[in-house]
Structure 1
Amino acid sequence: MINALIERWRPKTHTFHFSVGECAVTLEDVAMIRGLPTNGLPVTRPTMSCFEVMEAECLHQFRVAPRKADCRGSFIKLTWFRGLKDRIVLTDDIHIQMYVKCHTMLLFETILFGDKSGAAMLWKFLHLLRNFAGIIQFSWGSACLAHLYRSLCRATRVDCKEMDGPLTLLLTWAWIRLPFLAPIPGNPRLFPIANR
């Protein structure tokens, strides 16, 4: 009984174990690889699925709201953001800011906080973009690393068939920190992106 309680409350470690030791993705790695701030306010908002609140937030930030068909619970489909981004005419600072917010939401889903579907984004991040000049005050690196850790935990389940999360961060980290996984140098034309 005691062992079961200890096992339940033991903090999870997110390390990779090798014959030479163990290593983990750290905040320093996230700051170095992604260039994201790791100090600042926590990136947190409650996840709500109330369509009316989400509609009001979109109207406030973009002057247009998605239809119910463009939403799925507390998610907004990325096609809505892509369509809105394509329709924005960059005539003044307000429209430029709306365009950048759309692009930022797309980056959140595809790079920082992706899920397995890759088709929708939690709209809770919209509220964090309300004060666009203050976006730098959040610890985006910490949130990205926490999302990676959560994804790694879910990927270890027996019934899990694929992984989500910031996989480009994980792959880049492995490329830099685990040179025995990197391809043998020789022909740089074979791996131009990774060599850059």
Structure 2
Amino acid sequence: MIERWQLETHTFHLRTGEATITLQDVEVIYGLQIDGQALYRVEPPEMLPYRQELTRLIGFEPLQRDMCGQSRLLRSSLYAHLRFVDLQDPIDEATPQADVDRRARLYILIIFGGIMFPNTSGANMSMRYLLFIKDLDRRDVATRGAAVLAYMYRGFDQASMGKRLEVTAFSSLLQVETFSANSCSPSR
């Protein structure tokens, strides 16, 4: 796909012509909000204690060997924790709301760091997304759809300029675009 990405126009040049992924695609296909406040990261003046925040918000205290620096965590350790809590303590009607909230934050963190905003390491995920899942009751939900699309465009731009060897993107968006572009191609 990188070979077909045009940096100047942010489009893919396919056999069927130019194609791109739009905000409407993100909203209609994935149901991600595209209107509202921008999703952005404000760096705090000091490094957040991500490990302590992870324990407080999700109830998971990773081993030091599962940490990569101060802000990255092995995805496999988070997945193992998820499997453990799902097996040991399934959610039912008697589950306290605090436990439901911790589980919801765990799923959201995995979706953010592992699916919507992946990084090139493949094995690690950023814990900076903890900043966006602190308050589950916030009514002013940020536009995650626009952030996902911008993140994908940035990843393709960097890869096409040779700054990166791999693309960081919500790969399902690429599969949908490739499928829809190919399904519209004239038969030969």
- Structure 2 unpaired stretches of 5+: 1-6
Provide the secondary structure at the position in 2 that maps to 1:42: coil
Instruction: Check if 1:148 corresponds to 2:152.
Output: yes
Which residue of structure 2 aligns with residue 103 of structure 1?
107
Q: State the Cα distance separating 1:130 from its structure 2 match.
A: 0.7
Q: Which of residues 72, 75, 91 in structure 1 aligns to 2:72?
A: 75
Q: One-letter code of the match for 1:23?
A: A
Instruction: Check if 1:32 corresponds to 2:28.
Output: yes
Q: State the Cα distance separating 1:152 from its structure 2 match.
A: 0.9
- Structure 1 unpaired stretches of 5+: 1-10, 185-196
Which structure: greater helix fraction?
1
TM, length-normalised to structure 1? 0.73
Q: State the Cα distance separating 1:118 from its structure 2 match.
A: 2.5
Cα distance between partner residues in 1 of 2:185 and 2:110: 30
Provide the secondary structure at the position in 2 that maps to 1:150: helix
Instruction: Check if 1:53 corresponds to 2:49.
Output: yes
| Residues 39, 144 of structure 2: 8 Å contact kept | yes
CA RMSD of aligned residues (A): 2.9
Distance 1:87 1:12, change over 3 A: same
How many residues were matched structurally? 172
Q: Which of residues 26, 37, 43 in structure 2 aligns to 1:41?
A: 37
Distance 1:22 1:166, change over 3 A: same
Deviates more, 1:27-36 or 1:94-103: 94-103
Provide the secondary structure at the position in 1 that maps to 2:49: helix
| Residues 84, 102 of structure 1: 8 Å contact kept | no
| Deviations 1:63-118 (CA, angstroms, capped at 9, x unpaired) | 44323322113212212322322333233222122122212222223321112333
TM, length-normalised to structure 2? 0.76
